[in-house]
Structure 1
Amino acid sequence: MDKQPFLSAIEQICEEKGIAREKVIETIEMAIAAAYKRDYGRKGQNIKVKFYLETGKMEIFQVKLVVDQSMLKTEEETEEEKRREKEIEIEIEKEEEEKRFRFNPEKHIMIEEAKKIKDPALGKIKKVKPGDELEFPLEVHEEYGRIAAQTAKQVIIQRLREAEREAIYNEYKEKEGEIVSGLVQRIEGQNVFLDIGKATGILFPEEQVFNDRYRPGQRLKVYILEVQKDSRGPSIILSRAHPKMVSKLFALEVPEISGGSVQIKSIAREPGSRSKIAAASIEEGVDPIGSMVGQKGTRVLAVINELGGEKIDIIKWSSDPAEFIKSALSPAKVTEVEVEKKRGLARAIVPEDQLSLAIGIRGQNVRLAAKLTGWKIDVVSEKRVKGLEAEKTKETKFKKTKKTTAPAEKKPKKEKTKKDAKKKTKKS
């Protein structure tokens, strides 16, 4: 084997495909073993190859398992199994499934025979026990050249493709939940395919932003939502609609987030329309909102532009539910927030002129605030609250009056006597 071009090819494969050198050598060994078994092997043989990349030389071995009588089936069991196999005309290999198996001289060697074998390196008998594996050198045929090399080449190409797919899968699996830059490759129906480096990702309709317009050659940032294994290679699902797309874009623009002094606590998003972000400062003296907005709004504008003009509200996170809800309803000014922790309900009281702003167009502001805080929020005006309180007070007074005002006592009627009846008769 001309080793120099071969070595150069291996090194090139490792570098270009990002595959470990050991993985390539292992693949070559498996390919050569498969080719040897096909051309020169016998049924049941377990072939192992040791390939030395530096020299280009190889050694071929037949591997046998050391067994004792307790590991084997009895003659009766073996005969019965042979009879069943003959009846259904198929070969049944159950060695891996059953504790005991049929002895095969190509795969097994009895412990008594194994103990007679000398170790060439030590020059003495090997110490072996049942379950050990012994390697027996096989002849490397001179004609094991063109045909075997061609077979090996085909298997190597296949295995390297598999190794490459595995390497790409592992690389992008580690990038799940990260932002990458992609180039729009093609558009098929509503699905958009992007070149993201060593692989192609897919942007399904449900992961797209409704006002985005895609064209081949367009470069944009995408969020790696999920990486799945597929027979044709890794399937990489991308997103531009996921809430974490926003937080990851801010992490790219804001050093305080990537540095850990500012933390995004929660996000509520309606892709392409509006997002609300709750941020907190981990380090004293750092303003979370100011850090994310940036000087003259440069940082937040960079994110808005990447998201196609999506509006972004940044609020300060608070551990106090009432304060958090009050901030979440911004830009509306909230007078007071009443919370019912057991039921997870909150009532936000706002001035009359702030009611529509607090609720938002088609309820968007209060809906996003509820998602952001995790509370069910009911927005009411001060006027409405006063009206409800007045009605309540009126009702309470009415109930009290009803209880305290007792009915006037009725005088008992006198029973009519016979004398009274006579007097009445005389008068008439």
Structure 2
Amino acid sequence: MAVRKKDDEQLSMIDSFREFKDTKNIDRTTLVSVLEESFRNVLAKIYGSDENIDVIVNPDKGDFEIYRNRVVVENGEVEDDNKQICLSDAQKIEPDYEVGEEVSEPVDFAKFGRRAILTLRQTLASKILELEHDALFNKYKDRVGQIISAEVYQVWKREVLLVDDENNELILPKSEQIPADQYRKGET
């Protein structure tokens, strides 16, 4: 039963990647860096630091690998559990480790539980949203003063919500409208 839960959480993570890759028009390198940064943020909260963690993301397959690197120290001399591992624990991973060597061990992200996975999804969603806002801003920032045609989607008291040809939502404030014009849903 425990194995199935872990598999379900792993599938949930993979579905998250696919969802962001498919629904958002983001290039591969940006997606990889956003995923890595999101993992690092969550792992930094869990371990206190992410500087000794390697995150390898493969968005095509929808999978990832995380490794934590720690230095082997004598038994009982561990000062920072995140960056150091005692000799006896290191030898449980591989018997021929010696003091001073670096141990790179895989981190099972699913073992941190649903809260960490939800935090990752939220971090990822907010970073993707930030990218979308930046892309939309960059698209229109050089077009100040130009007329843009869009369809009226919704009319409110102080502003009109428009949708452009790429389904981006744009707001036309009352101060930018021609006073005598009336806008109706569906009009261009």
Q: TM-score normalised to the size of structure 1?
A: 0.29
2:152 partner letter: L
- Quote the residue 1:214 is aligned against: 183
Report the CA distance between 1:183 and its aligned residue: 0.9
1:21-420 correspondence runs (5 A): 21-39=28-46, 41-42=47-48, 45-46=50-51, 47-53=53-59, 54=61, 56-61=63-68, 137-141=104-108, 143-173=111-141, 175-176=143-144, 177-189=146-158, 191-196=159-164, 197-205=167-175, 207-215=176-184, 217-220=185-188
- Could you tell me which runs of 5 or more consecutive residues in structure 1 were left unpaired when the two chains were aligned: 64-104, 107-134, 221-428
Distance 1:21 1:4, change over 3 A: farther
Residues in 2 aligned to 1:27 and 1:174: alpha-carbon distance in whole angstroms: 26
Larger Cα-atom Rg:
1
2:154 alignment partner, SS class: strand
Matches of 1:192 and 1:56 in 2, distance apart? Answer: 42
Q: Give the share of equivalent positions with the same residue, in percent.
A: 20
Give the length in aligned residue pairs: 146
Aligned to 2:27: 20
Match of 1:163, as an amino acid? L
RMSD (Å), alpha carbons: 3.6
CA distance in 2, matches of 1:8, 1:175: 37
Question: Which 5+ residue runs of structure 2 have no aligned equivalent?
Answer: 1-6, 71-79, 82-101
Partners of 2:54 and 2:120 in 1: CA distance: 14
What are the Cα deviations for residues 45-99 of structure 1, in whole angstroms up to 9, with x where unaligned?
A: 5244222232613133569xxxxxxxxxxxxxxxxxxxxxxxxxxxxxxxxxxxx
The CA deviation string for residues 315-361 of structure 1, in whole angstroms up to 9 with x for no partner, is xxxxxxxxxxxxxxxxxxxxxxxxxxxxxxxxxxxxxxxxxxxxxxx
Cα deviation 1:213-237 (Å, max 9, x = unaligned) = 223x1412xxxxxxxxxxxxxxxxx
TM-superposed CA distance for 1:211, in Å, is: 3.2
Task: Describe the shift of the 1:45–1:12 C-alpha distance in structure 2 as closer, same or farther (beyond 3 A).
Answer: closer
TM-score normalised by length of structure 2: 0.58
Q: How far has the Cα of 1:22 moved from its partner?
A: 2.5
Q: Distance in 2 between matches of 1:201 and 1:209?
A: 14
Shift of 1:29: 1.4
